[in-house]
Amino acid sequence: MSLPLDRAARVALPTTESVQHHETAVADLRRRRDDALARVPDLQALREHAAAIKGHTLGDLGTYLERFEEQARAAGAVVHWADDAPAHNRIVHDLLAERGVHRVAKSKSMLTEECGLNPYLEARGIEVVDTDLGERIVQLEGEAPSHIVIPAIHRRRQEIGALFHRTVGSPEGEHDPVVLTEIARQDLRRRFLSAEAGITGVNFAIAETGSLVVCTNEGNADLGMHLPSIHIACMGIEKLLPRLEDLPAFLRLLARSATGQAITAYTTVVTGPRPGGELHIVLVDNGRSRLLADPEQRGALACIRCGACLNTCPVYRRTGGHAYNQTVPGPIGAVLAPAFRSDREASTLPFASTLCGSCSAVCPVGIDLHGQLLAWRARAPFGGGRIRWVARLGAEVLARPRLYRLVGGLARLAWPLLSRRWPGNPANAWLEGRELPPHPGASFRSRFRLWSQGSRSREGSRSRGGSGE
């Protein structure tokens, strides 16, 4: 069973130093994003254009999916459909098993994380090597990515150096990022060359041409696509754009919002298999059509996975991604979790937000993230229990002035207990790291009465003394 976010955060980032490291790293991404977008003169028009394309595409998604399938097939790709994660994993495994594949080079794909593809294939004797450096780090560590763009953002160089020493034989004590990256390059290069199939995610797919678009900085997806003769591309059904002409707006926003780059180092457009090769495209629903049917929540399907909302979120910055126990963490993850999962913790994730609205403000495609979080809160199943009972009680008290005064008096008496003598108050996690402000001494009503009496007497003395004019 997963832990609630507040407790999971203590496991994810267990020390003050780890929290500070994470917060600094994430805040740096946010700063780079701001700097990069400040240099785009047509930023607002670009965002509105991208949002309009996504809104249009989601409104006619069935038509665009069929057009994409038709064009991709015409270009020589094989298109598969998977209703859910087990179907996706089964399709990918069958494709590999039928061709006798035992070694796969895989590039970053949040969808395959969501579907649990790696453990599924490994349990069936297929070696999967994650080739993005950050993904490789978390794979060797045996943990999940904690950020959708920088998977190992929670790890410090010393930890990665020790990990590489244990797993790939780097010199003990070596933690220079340049040296560690070179060691990973040499290790992964031979794995690329021996891989029998490549699995990639998909950033965008183009309905008019049946093309896939894959963006990376490392070039690992390209090596996975171009070296082995079998390329399997796994994509959520929401990745579609109608036309190639629609793509530049998203490319101009994606890397700037993610890392502050004007564009990723490699943006590869693939239409059909390479000569002599095979291209399989797995279209995955896994709850997305259900989300599409929800007018309040469908906007989340416009997400382009830039991570900007994570980088700006005050909760994500301090908890780390693992605390969400969710493939996609942060505000967008807290919006997606209740749609894709049915456990109690998923329904509590929308409460892991200050509703400051910063996530919505930075979203390059204009998703109303904090509005959607608020909408999920109203539907939270446990709201029917304790929370609703407290709200009803509060309404009763507020409707009766005498009862209100009585409860206020009792609360002032209990104040010292609440503020000082109840650390780790299980009724309110907010108090665990904080103290309530000093006791005000008197109620607002009595202080207001005193203030208005004094005000009246000051008025009286002024009118008796005259203005002097």
| DSSP-based three-state secondary structure for 127 | strand
Q: Does residue 94 belong to the site contacting other proteins (CB under 8 A)?
A: no
Binding residue for other proteins, selected from 89, 209, 353, 372, defined by CB under 8 A: 209
Of residues 276-335, which lie at the interface with other proteins (CB under 8 A)?
Answer: 276-277, 283, 285, 289-290, 292-293, 295, 298
DSSP character for 341? Answer: -
Binding residue for other proteins, selected from 7, 185, 386, 449, defined by CB under 8 A: 185
Residues 6 or more apart whose CB falls under 8 angstroms from that of 98 comprise none
Smaller CB distance to other proteins: residue 96 or 240?
A: 240
Smaller CB distance to other proteins: residue 168 or 407?
A: 168
Binding residue for other proteins, selected from 181, 354, 452, 453, defined by CB under 8 A: 181
Smaller CB distance to other proteins: residue 62 or 171?
A: 62
Smaller CB distance to other proteins: residue 295 or 465?
A: 295
Stretch touching other proteins by CB under 8 A, among 203-211, 318-326, 328-336, 353-361 = 203-211
What is the C-alpha to C-alpha distance for residues 117 and 128, in angstroms, rounded to an integer?
A: 9
Q: Does residue 269 belong to the site contacting other proteins (CB under 8 A)?
A: yes
Of residues 141-160, which lie at the interface with other proteins (CB under 8 A)?
Answer: 150-153, 155-157, 160
Q: Does residue 415 belong to the site contacting other proteins (CB under 8 A)?
A: no
Smaller CB distance to other proteins: residue 8 or 198?
A: 198
Binding residue for other proteins, selected from 3, 4, 6, 28, defined by CB under 8 A: 28
Q: Which two tokens stand for residue 39?
A: 């240099």
- Residue 114 contacts residue 286 (beta carbons within 8 Å): yes
CA dihedral for 57, 58, 64, 69, sign (positive or negative): positive
What is the C-alpha to C-alpha distance for residues 337 and 280, in angstroms, rounded to an integer?
A: 28
Least distance in angstroms from the C-beta of 228 to other proteins:
9
Closest among 305, 294, 320, 312 to 357, alpha carbons compared: 312
387-391 long-range contacts, CB within 8 A, separation 24+: none
Q: Does residue 404 belong to the site contacting other proteins (CB under 8 A)?
A: no
Least distance in angstroms from the C-beta of 304 to other proteins:
15
Smaller CB distance to other proteins: residue 265 or 387?
A: 265
Stretch touching other proteins by CB under 8 A, among 8-16, 242-250, 369-377, 452-460 = 242-250
Q: What is the DSSP string of 66-86?
A: HHHHHHHHHTT-EEEEESSHH
Binding residue for other proteins, selected from 78, 162, 227, 397, defined by CB under 8 A: 227
Q: Does residue 375 belong to the site contacting other proteins (CB under 8 A)?
A: no
The 10 Å Cβ neighbour count of residue 30 is 20
Closest among 28, 31, 11 to 19, alpha carbons compared: 11
Residues near other proteins (CB under 8 A), total? 95
What is the C-alpha to C-alpha distance for residues 85 and 94, in angstroms, rounded to an integer?
A: 14
The 10 Å Cβ neighbour count of residue 48 is 13
Residues 6 or more apart whose CB falls under 8 angstroms from that of 217 comprise 259, 261, 264, 265, 266
What is the C-alpha to C-alpha distance for residues 20 and 40, in angstroms, rounded to an integer?
A: 31
| DSSP-based three-state secondary structure for 267 | strand
Stretch touching other proteins by CB under 8 A, among 94-102, 182-190, 343-351, 461-469 = 182-190
Smaller CB distance to other proteins: residue 208 or 345?
A: 208
Smaller CB distance to other proteins: residue 83 or 435?
A: 83
Stretch touching other proteins by CB under 8 A, among 274-282, 304-312, 335-343, 420-428 = 274-282
Least distance in angstroms from the C-beta of 287 to other proteins:
10
Q: Phi and psi dihedrals of 211, rounded to 5?
A: -90, 155
Of residues 109-138, which lie at the interface with other proteins (CB under 8 A)?
Answer: 131-134, 137
Smaller CB distance to other proteins: residue 60 or 459?
A: 60
Of residues 34-93, which lie at the interface with other proteins (CB under 8 A)?
Answer: 41-42, 45-46, 48-49, 52-53, 55-56, 58-62, 65-66, 75, 81-83, 87
| DSSP-based three-state secondary structure for 107 | coil
- Residue 5 contacts residue 348 (beta carbons within 8 Å): yes
Closest among 328, 337, 326 to 297, alpha carbons compared: 337
Length of the chain: 469
Q: Does residue 31 belong to the site contacting other proteins (CB under 8 A)?
A: no
